[in-house]
């Protein structure tokens, strides 16, 4: 058992609220949250919070982790050239080993930003899953069926395999996007959703051009088309959701589909700003992702949280839009629920020990006017003192404990970059 004591605990039952509770974990779970002074268990470690705050980890609800190799490889160029000259040719050079190594690098950055789980849509899922398991990190893999897949039925095999492989790994159904996937293949994904009574996810209404092309092809927006095809029969949701009509928002609210926003990536690729405040007021469930480092370029939930609310204030002209408490709940709780990690939503007995300690003895957390607003509006990676996944401390005071040194992981990523430059 591990004991956290002498600090604050941020709980999320009935909205974010602070307590003076101490917290015990045992194996992968939280076993006690309550007043100090209870008879002590046999602790392998007692962590003195020294006034710092313990809270549920952030959930990165949309990402392509191994894409970290594209960070700063090609910026400041138009989207079409970025995709055709850099992303696609370089992604074609990825093999299993590269995806494994690069996923490990991405996980380091998640840990340094207090992220305890990723919702990861990428290629070579076997290597991806292994990198997560070997690092001790939690991931939910997302199917990305599209017209380039040679083996359509692979997603059903993956669904079965990765939902049984390891407690740290699960798998959700999905397609890459409407514009990369034929009607037949979307219907196939929908048939699996029906068979397994599972939600389905996809990139959705990311750019204006994507929505317009879909309307021209089918007379329907992407959310409406997918809904007609049965894709959302058992829930699910969309990544990005920048360009949502009133009807799209009503559909998402009615079916409780997740709108997963990626503000930094949408800004940098000039895609637009998702109508988060409108969706929130309509009752659409919301979560936050970093997207891949190729388009972001950081994997930093603090930056995303700030952008979620700041962009809404700009877009609506209302400085009261999208309050900090809602944003923090999106990052800690919403993401977990979107990914099917209902046991990773809170600091409460029986929940998974996916926890973060934030260092409050830093200038950006002072004075202590309001902790939640400080975190959302002023927090940064420098505040992440400790990140625990499934009861194991994987990051603490700048050091990583993921079964491989950070230096070796950096070295492998740089070796891969040298290799693809020669190919």
Residue 318 contacts a copy of itself per CB under 8 A: yes
> Which member of 73, 133, 152, 215 binds a copy of itself (CB under 8 A)?
73
Binding of a copy of itself by 361 (CB under 8 A): yes
Write the DSSP string, 335-363.
HHHHTT-GGGSSSSTTSB--EEEE---SG
Alpha-carbon distance of 234 to 196, in angstroms, equals 9
Lookup: tokens for 313 = 């204030």
Residue 362 binding a copy of itself, by CB under 8 A: yes
Q: Is 105 in the site for a copy of itself (CB under 8 A)?
A: yes
115 binds a copy of itself (CB under 8 A): no
Q: Which of 232, 344, 238 is nearest to 286 (CA)?
A: 238
306 scored as a contact of a copy of itself (CB under 8 A): yes
Of 7 and 174, the one with the shorter C-beta distance to a copy of itself is 7
Binding of a copy of itself by 394 (CB under 8 A): no
Residue selected from 9, 60, 65, 112 as contacting a copy of itself according to rule CB under 8 A: 112
Q: How far is the CB of 330 from a copy of itself (least distance, A)?
A: 14
CB of 261 to a copy of itself, least distance (A): 14
Residues 202, 156: Cα–Cα separation, whole Å: 16
Q: Least distance in Å: CB of 264 to a copy of itself? A: 7
Of 11, 5, 6, 60, which is closest to residue 351 (Cα–Cα)? Answer: 11
The Cα 283–Cα 285 span in angstroms is 6
Nearest to 186 by CA among 146, 156, 159: 146
Q: Does 402 bind a copy of itself (CB under 8 A)?
A: no
Torsion of CA 140, 146, 151, 152, to 10 degrees: 80
Parallel, antiparallel or unpaired: strands 53-56 and 355-358: antiparallel
Instruction: Rank residues 144 and 322 by Cβ distance to a copy of itself and give the closer one.
Output: 322
d(CA 159, CA 167): 14
Stretch that binds a copy of itself, among 15-23, 71-79, 154-162, 331-339 (CB under 8 A): 71-79
212 binds a copy of itself (CB under 8 A): no
**CB of 104 within 8 A of CB of 131?**
yes
Single residue of 324, 330, 331, 357 touching a copy of itself by CB under 8 A: 324
Nearer Cβ to a copy of itself (12/416): 416
Site for a copy of itself contains 364 (CB under 8 A):
yes
Q: Which one of 5-13, 160-168, 227-235, 378-386 is the stretch in contact with a copy of itself (CB under 8 A)?
A: 378-386
The strand pair at 22-26 and 115-120 is best described as unpaired
For helices 301-316 and 371-378, angle between their N-to-C axes, nearest 10 degrees = 90
Q: Which is nearer to a copy of itself, 149 or 382 (CB)?
A: 382
Q: In the complex, what is the shortest distance from the CB of residue 219 to a copy of itself, in angstroms, rounded to a whole number? A: 26
Angle in degrees, CA 9, 10, 13, rounded to 5: 120
Contact residue for a copy of itself among 377, 396, 401, 404 (CB under 8 A): 377
Of the candidates 311, 339, 417, the one whose C-alpha atom is nearest the C-alpha of residue 70 is 417
Minimum Å gap between C-beta 11 and a copy of itself is 20
Residues 342, 252, 292, 273, Cα dihedral to 10°? -130
Query: Whole-number minimum distance, CB 271 to a copy of itself, in Å?
Result: 8
Q: Which is nearer to a copy of itself, 31 or 378 (CB)?
A: 378
Q: Which stretch binds a copy of itself (CB under 8 A): 39-47, 56-64, 102-110, 174-182?
A: 102-110
In sequence order, which ranges of 113-242 are alpha helices (DSSP H)?
125-135, 154-162, 183-196, 208-218, 222-228
Cβ distance to a copy of itself smaller for residue 235 or 289: 289
76 touching a copy of itself, by CB under 8 A: yes
Give the residue among 108, 71, 99 at the shortest CA–CA distance from 405.
108
Contact at 8 Å (CB) between 261 and 287? yes
Interface with a copy of itself includes 213 (CB under 8 A)?
no
Q: Within positions 5 to 64, which residues make up the interface with a copy of itself, using CB under 8 A?
A: none
**Binding flag, residue 200, a copy of itself (CB under 8 A):** no
Q: Is 116 one of the binding residues for a copy of itself (CB under 8 A)?
A: no
303 binds a copy of itself (CB under 8 A): yes
Q: What is the footprint of a copy of itself within residues 255-294 (CB under 8 A)?
A: 264, 266-270, 272-273, 293
Strands (E) across 52-199 are located at 53-56, 58-63, 115-120, 138-142, 169-177
């Amino acid at each position: 058992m591990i004991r956290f004591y002498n600090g604050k605990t941020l709980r999320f039952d009935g909205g974010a609220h602070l307590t003076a509770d101490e917290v015990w974990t045992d194996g992968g779970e939280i076993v006690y949250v309550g007043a100090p002074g209870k008879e002590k268990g046999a602790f392998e470690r007692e962590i003195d919070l020294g006034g710092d705050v313990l809270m549920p980890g952030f959930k990165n609800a949309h990402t392509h982790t191994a894409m970290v190799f594209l960070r700063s490889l090609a910026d400041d160029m138009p989207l079409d050239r970025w995709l055709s000259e850099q992303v696609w040719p370089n992604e074609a050079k990825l093999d299993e080993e590269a995806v494994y190594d690069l996923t490990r690098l991405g996980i380091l950055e998640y840990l340094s930003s207090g992220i305890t789980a990723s919702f990861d849509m990428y290629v070579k899922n076997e290597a991806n899953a292994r990198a997560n398991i070997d690092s001790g990190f939690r991931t939910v893999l997302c199917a990305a069926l599209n017209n380039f897949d040679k083996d359509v039925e692979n997603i059903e095999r993956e669904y079965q395999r990765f939902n049984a492989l390891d407690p740290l790994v699960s798998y959700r159904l999905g397609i890459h996007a409407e514009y990369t996937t034929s009607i037949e293949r979307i219907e196939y994904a929908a048939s699996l959703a029906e068979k397994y009574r599972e939600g389905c996810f996809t990139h959705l209404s990311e750019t204006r051009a994507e929505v317009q092309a879909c309307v021209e092809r089918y007379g329907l927006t992407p959310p409406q088309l997918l809904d007609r095809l049965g894709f959302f029969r058992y829930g699910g949701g969309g990544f990005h959701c920048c360009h949502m009509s009133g009807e799209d928002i009503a559909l998402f609210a009615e079916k409780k589909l997740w709108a997963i926003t990626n503000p930094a990536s949408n800004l940098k690729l000039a895609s637009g700003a998702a109508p988060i405040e409108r969706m929130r007021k309509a009752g659409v469930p919301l979560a936050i992702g970093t997207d891949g480092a190729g388009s972001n370029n950081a994997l930093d939930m603090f930056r995303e949280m700030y952008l979620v609310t700041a962009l809404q204030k700009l877009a609506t002209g209302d400085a009261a839009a999208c309050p900090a408490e809602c944003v923090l709940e999106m990052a800690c709780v919403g993401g977990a629920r979107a990914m099917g990690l209902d046991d990773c939503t809170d600091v409460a007995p029986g929940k998974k020990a996916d926890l973060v300690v934030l260092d409050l003895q830093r200038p950006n957390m002072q004075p202590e006017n309001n902790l939640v607003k400080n975190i959302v509006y002023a927090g940064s990676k420098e505040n992440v003192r400790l990140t625990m996944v499934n009861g194991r401390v994987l990051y603490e005071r700048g050091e990583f404990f993921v079964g491989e040194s950070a230096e070796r992981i950096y070295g492998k990523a740089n070796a891969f970059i040298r290799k693809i430059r020669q190919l």
